[in-house]
Amino acid sequence: MKEELTRQSIQLFERKGFSSTSVQDIVDSLGVTKGTFYYYFTSKETLLMDIHLRYIDDLVARQKKVLDSNESCRNQLTKIVEILIKDIQTQGSNVRVYFREMRHLSEENSSVIKNKRRMFHLTIEKIIKEGIEKKEFRDNLDPKMTTFAILGVTNWSYEWFDPSGNISSKELASMYMDFILHGIDLKGE
């Protein structure tokens, strides 16, 4: 039941936004009563926090696995980009809620999430730095800004990419790694 409430909520939060989705909407969509909702969640915000934690914890865990693989920086980065793009397909709604609704967490809760986000970010930064040292990447890059650029490319996909369309998430990920590695400029310039 808790699982089902969460799943339905994610769908509704994605479609109408957190504040515009009422607890009534959620329980109606499952044919249960509001009491049931409050049996499982102490508040609407608790549910939102659950959704956030679930995603970021899982993501960080998967990122750690990549890091532990000890592959080249380029490969590590590729794998992370693949993870992010594939998540659109497997849990797009969840991630969109994660991107859009953090504002509705309390100060306390949102700072917990922010810290975890920062850790995710810092890990990518570390990969960039290492890549520069190992001469995999250009040495005139600002690791922090570059990380933001890469995350911009991937995260923005959540706003438009439809994995059931012409282009598969695998293809998109590979296109994007090409873009990230080589830019759009004609070679030699």
Partner DNA sequence: AATGAATGAGTCTTCATTCAT
Partner DNA sequence: TATGAATGAAGACTCATTCAT
Note the residues at the interface with DNA (CB under 7 A): 1, 19-25, 32-40, 42-45
Q: Does 156 bind its own copies (CB under 8 A)?
A: yes
Nearer to its own copies, 65 or 99 (CB): 99
Q: What are φ and ψ of residue 42, in 5° steps?
A: -75, -20
Residue 6 burial (10 A CB sphere; 0-12, 13-18, 19+): middle
User: Considering only CA atoms, which of 185, 183, 180, 188 is closest in space to residue 73?
Assistant: 180
Q: Does 162 bind its own copies (CB under 8 A)?
A: no
Nearer to DNA, 21 or 154 (CB): 21
Nearer to its own copies, 4 or 171 (CB): 171
Which of DNA, its own copies, none interacts with 24 (beta carbon under 5 to 8 A by kind)? DNA
Give the nearest distance from C-beta 28 to its own copies in angstroms: 13
Q: Does 122 bind its own copies (CB under 8 A)?
A: no
Nearer to its own copies, 11 or 155 (CB): 155
Q: Does 151 bind its own copies (CB under 8 A)?
A: yes
Q: Does 180 bind its own copies (CB under 8 A)?
A: yes
Nearer to its own copies, 3 or 185 (CB): 185
The residue written with tokens 């995999």 in the block is 136
Q: Does 160 bind its own copies (CB under 8 A)?
A: yes
DSSP codes, 51-120:
HHHHHHHHHHHHHHHHHHT---HHHHHHHHHHHHHHHHHHHHHHHHHHHH-GGGS-HHHHHHHHHHHHHH
Which residues neighbour 139 within 8 Å (Cβ) at sequence distance 6 or greater?
Answer: 132
Which of DNA, its own copies, none interacts with 119 (beta carbon under 5 to 8 A by kind)? none
Task: Give the count of beta carbons closer than 10 Å to the beta carbon of residue 154.
Answer: 21
